[in-house]
Structure 1
Amino acid sequence: MSTESRPRRIRADAERSTARILEAALVVLAADPAAPMERIADAAGLARATVHRRFPTRRALLEALAAQLNDRYLLGLKQARVETAPPVVALYRLAETVFELKISHRFAIEQSSDRERARPLLTAEVVAGLDLLFTRLHAEGAITAAGPAWCRQVFLALLQEVDQLPADAPELGGAEPDAVLGARVELLVASVLGALGGRPAS
C-alpha cells in the first residue's frame, strides 16, 4: 500500500466508524436519553476507546447529532425544491421529510426542542429556506399571511402538535398504520395553510 493511499484509508475507516456511532446513538438515546457512552459503543459494535476517540465527551456527541440533524433539514429543503417547485408542492414534500426526520432523529429533535421551547434547533440556513418557502406561498396567493417569520412559527408549532397525535387520533382520519405518515402530512399542510389564510391544493 502506498503512503498516499494509507491516510486515505484511515480517513475512510474513521468516517465509517463515526457514522456507525451516530446511528447507534440515535437508537440508544431515543430509548434511554441517559444511556452511557459505553452502551452506544456496544450498539455500534465498536471498542469503547474508539467511541471516546471520536467523541471525547457526551457533549461532543450531542453536538454531532445536532449538526447531522441540521444537515438533514438542509437536504430536505433541497429535495423539496423550495426555490423552484410549486410552493404548495414544496410544502407537502418538506412536511413529509420533517416527519420522517422525527421518526429517525427523534432524540436529537427532542433535545433541541428542550433548549428551544418546543422549537427544533434551526440554523440560519434552515430558517432562510423555510422563510423563502412561505414568501413564495404568499406571492402565489396560497396564503394571505405576509410575514415569513410568523408563518414559520405557525408551521413549527403545528408540526409539533400533529406529531404528538397518537396514531389512532380521529384527526388522522382512522388511517391504517402504513398510512399514518401520509395522514400527518395532509393534516399538517391543511392546518398550516388554513391558519395562514389559504387552502390546500386540490
Structure 2
Amino acid sequence: MMRADAARNLDAVLRTGARLLAEDPSASMATIAAEAGVDRRTVYRRFPTREALLTAVFQAKLDSAERVMDEARLEEAPVAVALHRYVEGIVPVTRRWPVDTRRMMRADPAARPRMEELSARLDRFVRRMIEEGPLRTGVPLTWARATLDHLIDTAARQTPALDPPQAADLVVDTLLNGLGRR
C-alpha cells in the first residue's frame, strides 16, 4: 500500500505530466516535477524516462475511461440513461487526461489493444443507440460515433466552465436532437 503523501505526489506528477505533455510533447521531467510541486528525483525514481511517464499517463487515462464505461452500464442500462452517464463521466476524464489518444496508440504499444477494446465497446453502444433508438435508423455508425466523440471533446476542452452534468445535458441534447428520429 502506498503512503498517502506518495499517492498524492504520484497523482500530481501524472496529472501535471498529462497536461504539460499534451501542451508540449518535449516538456522536460524537471519542468513537470517543478509544476507538480515535487523534487525531480521523486519523478525519476518512479519514471526513469519521459516515455515511462507518458506510458503511465496513458494507462491512467485508459483505466479512467474503462471505469466510466463500466459505471455507465452501456450494455444494460436504458440507452438514454447510459448515454448521459457515459458523457457525464467521460468529460472529466478528458479534462484530467488531455493527452491525444492517437499519440497514445503510436507511443505505447501496450495501450493499443486496450484502446481498441474501449473503442469497440463504444461502437457497440452507438450501434445499440441506432438499433433501439433514439438515433435515426440509417445514420452511419461512423458518423454517429464521430459526432459523439466530437461533442464530448468540445464539451470537455472548449467549454471548461460547464460542470460535467451540464456538459452531459448539452451533449446528449445536441446528439439526440441533431440525429434523433424524425
Q: TM-score, normalised by structure 1?
A: 0.67
1:86 matches 2:78: yes
Q: How far apart are the structure 2 equivalents of 1:60 and 1:189?
A: 36
Report 1:35-54 matches (<5 A): 35-42=27-34, 46-54=38-46
Q: TM-score, normalised by structure 2?
A: 0.73
SS at match of 1:98: helix
SS at match of 1:123: helix
1:142 matches 2:134: yes
SS at match of 2:48: coil
Q: Which residue of 2 aligns with 1:100?
A: 92
Query: Which of 18, 21, 25 is the aligned partner of 2:13?
Result: 21
CA change 1:20–1:73 in 2 (3 A) is same
Structure 1 unaligned blocks of 5 or more? 1-8, 168-176
Q: How far apart are the structure 1 equivalents of 2:50 and 2:181?
A: 44
Q: Once the 2 structures are TM-superposed, how far is the Cα of residue 97 of structure 1 from its aligned partner?
A: 0.9
Larger Cα-atom Rg? 1
> Aligned partner of 1:52: which letter?
Y
Aligned residues: 171
Deviations 1:38-63 (A, max 9, x none): 23334556543342232222122122
> Aligned partner of 1:185: which letter?
A
Larger RCO: Structure 1 or Structure 2 (Cα < 8 Å, ≥ 6 residues apart)?
2
Structure 2 unaligned blocks of 5 or more? 106-111
Q: Once the 2 structures are TM-superposed, how far is the Cα of residue 65 of structure 1 from its aligned partner?
A: 0.8
